[in-house]
Amino acid sequence: MLFDTHVHLNADQFNEDRDEVIKNAQEAGVTHMVVVGFDRKTIPIALEIAEQYDFIYSAVGWHPVDAVDCTEEDLNWIEELSTHPKVVAIGEMGLDYHWDKSPKEVQKEVFRKQIALAKRVNLPVIIHNREATADIVQILKEEDAHEAGGIMHCYSDGVSYAKECLEMGFYISLGGPVTFKNAKDPKIVAEEVPLDRLLIETDCPFLAPHPNRGKRNEPAYVKLVAEKIAEIKGESFETVAKVTNKNAKDLFQIS
């Protein structure tokens, strides 16, 4: 009973074999997933997939890399879509300082607006963070994001920031990097963060876990993430699967 909380089955990389990939996931024990849409192109496809499969849900938001393209009309559209019965979160949103397409100030503004939106519509937020943890934590605090709650998706920073996020009621989601041989921080985070605050994800088609690193990632591989967390925590695979599944259902209010 694995819950992959962050997939991009709406990406072009799955155009040829999407149904087969979904079937593989079910065979690997994936019982739920959230397809994340983050712009005008990917949101409608995410909703289409969620409408087609009852165990697939969707999140809608605007990606920070493209913040410069985000208009008020786009945000109104996302707010309207938030009432769709399969939409369980707003995002992904956040800050990405790796790419310089959108100036930091623009990213911050679009991020703040989406937190406010999520609070209005009463849904949790999914946070994308690349090289911007300090600013993200500051904005989450300033915007009272604890009222919405949410996920630090594919968390890759250290334990001290993770603890600040936990204090705000956020969940920490770990993906493929926790399985990488050279990844120190995600392993320490897996050890230190209580299991009832952890989620698992693939972020497919990116960041495939070891031993599939470098290949196209897919939801079936979330099993490798759960196995690694179980090994690090000294828990059974079943316990990690069960608890992270319950955490996700609680957050997304899926019964």
**Binding stretches for Zn ion (CB under 5 A):** 36, 92, 128
Which residue's CB is nearer to Zn ion, number 48 or number 99? 99
Of 157 and 230, nearer to Zn ion (C-beta) is 157
* 5/202 Cα distance (integer angstroms): 8
Q: Shortest approach of Zn ion to residue 183 CB, angstroms?
A: 17
Please choose, from the candidates 180, 162, 187, the residue with its C-alpha nearest in 3D space to the C-alpha of residue 172.
162
| Smallest gap from residue 155 Cβ to Zn ion (A) | 11
Residue whose CB is less far from Zn ion, 95 or 243: 95
Residue in 124, 121, 120 with CA at minimum distance from that of residue 93: 124
Residues in the chain: 255
- Residue 36 or 46: the one with the smaller Cβ distance to Zn ion is 36
Nearer to Zn ion, 126 or 230 (CB): 126
CB 164 → Zn ion: shortest distance, Å?
Answer: 19
List the structure tokens of 19.
């149904």
Q: Please enumerate in sequence order all residues whose Cβ is within 8 A of that of 1, keeping only pairs 6 or more positions apart, or say none.
A: 29, 31, 241, 242, 245
Q: Do residues 185 and 152 lie in contact, with contact meaning Cβ atoms separated by under 8 Å?
A: no
Smallest distance, Zn ion to C-beta of residue 38, A? 7
Three state DSSP letters for 102-159: CCHHHHHHHHHHHHHHHHHHCCCEEEEEECCHHHHHHHHHHCCHHHCCEEECCCCCCH
Nearer to Zn ion among residue 93 and residue 198 (C-beta): 93
159, 106, 108: which is closest to 129 by C-alpha?
108
What are 200's strand-pairing partners? 4, 174
CB of residue 78 to Zn ion, shortest distance in Å: 16
